[in-house]
Amino acid sequence: MRVRACFFVLFSLPCLLCVLLSSAQQLPPDAVVSARLLDSHLQDSAFRALFSPITGVPYDAQVPTNLSGIKVSAMRLRSGSLRTRGVLSYKEFEIPIGVVEKPYVERLVLVYQNLGNWSDQFYPLPGFSYLAPVLGLLAYSGVNLSASELPELDIRASEKPVLVNFPHVRPAPLGALAKCVYFDLHGSVQFDTLLPGNVCSTMQQGHFSIVVESNAPSPAPSSGGEFQDASGKNNKKNNKFMLRILVPCVVGGIVLLIIILGLLVVLVRKHTKGTRMQQLECVAYSNEIMDMTSIGDIKVPLAFGTRTRPMIEHDYFP
Ligand SMILES: *[C@@H]1O[C@H](CO)[C@@H](O)[C@H](O)[C@H]1NC(C)=O
Ligand SMILES: *[C@@H]1O[C@H](CO)[C@@H](O)[C@H](O)[C@H]1NC(C)=O
Ligand SMILES: *[C@@H]1O[C@H](CO)[C@@H](O)[C@H](O)[C@H]1NC(C)=O
């Protein structure tokens, strides 16, 4: 039983590792850099829209022309009011009471991003396609509104989660399951269940969207020049994905197999030793049983079993 449990654990370990690795996905490093650069550009653009702003009012910002298609807004808040009142609706975001920032600032600015048709470009997700644009919510200190290249504050919901209500979501293909995807500021990717009404929930800031697994990473691209290009790119990404997820899994699996084989050898050796001992004991025992004793002219096996019945012994040996 114990051996079986041991084997079960050993064999399930590589699988578990693979699942963990694949669920703790990461954006490629170059994508993280460009996404962070974009955050920085958009913070700059958003803050330009805040010219003697009214607290709690969203201001739409202008983005550089080479980023047209992206929407950015900024809203300045007192951190006390954010914590005790929340923001009922800031574009697609619903911020509950209990959201606190670290480090503490008296005023903060919430920058909203809607990456629109740039979502794929800045947040490439091999194996998935977006059903909604990537939306971002990031917090910055609102002390100096002409500051640029500000670091983000760390904001967290402490009681209820922040909700993201996606209004225009493309329907998922038949049989495919739409999921929420969450990118934190370091490029790690997490998936979560989509709540009814196309709502995602989060306890932290970052970027959010709805995705569906895109089936058929087909190696042979079909008709359509434009499409061909896109799927070729996708294949490259898929290869990267395979390299980053599958290779470590396979290597881990092989190492574990070697360990398992080693254990098997040890176990088998122990086992054979044990059986040999048993055999020896058996032989010794049978020798004992087969010990012959002469009674008169006849040779009779002397059985120890009779020792338990002294009465009979008395009968045979008066
Ligand atoms: C947009 O142009 C600016 C310079 O004006 C450049 O720094 C930035 O990288 C460009 N962004 C993209 C996405 O091309
Ligand atoms: C997104 O759309 C805008 C026009 O609305 C266009 O200028 C821009 O190049 C598009 N971006 C991408 C990545 O296709
Ligand atoms: C605000 O930031 C700008 C740009 O970094 C800087 O020039 C200015 O001195 C800062 N103002 C204050 C009051 O810190």
CATH entry 2.60.220 includes domain 32-228: yes
67 lines ligand 1 (CB under 6 A): yes
Most confident of 72-81, 238-247, 286-295: 72-81
- Report how far ligand 3's centroid is from the alpha carbon of 147 (Å): 6
262 lines ligand 1 (CB under 6 A): no
Compute CA distances 315 → 290, 294, 298, 312, whole Å. 21, 16, 17, 5
Whether the CB-CB separation of 255 and 14 falls below 8 Å is answered with no
Angle in degrees, CA 137, 39, 201, rounded to 5: 25
Q: What pLDDT is attached to residue 266?
A: 75
Mean pLDDT of 134-158: 95
Bridge partners, residue 112, by sequence: 73, 137
Q: Under DSSP, is residue 227 helix (H, G, I), strand (E, B) or coil?
A: helix
Q: How confident is the model at residue 215 (pLDDT cuts 50, 70, 90)?
A: confident
Q: What pLDDT is attached to residue 264?
A: 77
Q: How confident is the model at residue 271 (pLDDT cuts 50, 70, 90)?
A: confident
- Report how far ligand 2's centroid is from the alpha carbon of 72 (Å): 15
- Report how far ligand 1's centroid is from the alpha carbon of 66 (Å): 6
pTM: 0.66
Omega before 64 within 30 of 0, i.e. cis: no
120 lines ligand 2 (CB under 6 A): no
Taking only the tens place, the pLDDT of each residue in 272-306 is 666 665 665 545 555 545 555 566 666 555 555 54
Which sequence spans correspond to the domains of the chain? 1-30+229-288, 32-228
Pocket test for ligand 1, best of 40, 41, 66 (most atoms within 8 A of CB): 66
Q: What pLDDT is attached to residue 141?
A: 96
Q: What pLDDT is attached to residue 120?
A: 95
144 lines ligand 3 (CB under 6 A): yes
Q: How confident is the prediction for the chain on average, in pLDDT?
A: 79
Q: Specify the range with the lowest mean pLDDT, choosing from 97-111, 165-179, 251-265.
A: 251-265
Q: What pLDDT is attached to residue 224?
A: 32
- Asked if residue 26 has pLDDT above 70, the reply is yes
For atom 2 of ligand 1, the residue with the nearest CA is 66
For atom 9 of ligand 2, the residue with the nearest CA is 68
Q: What pLDDT is attached to residue 227?
A: 33
- Report how far ligand 1's centroid is from the alpha carbon of 109 (Å): 24
- Report how far ligand 3's centroid is from the alpha carbon of 164 (Å): 33
Tokens found for residue 215: 């089936």
- Report how far ligand 1's centroid is from the alpha carbon of 68 (Å): 11
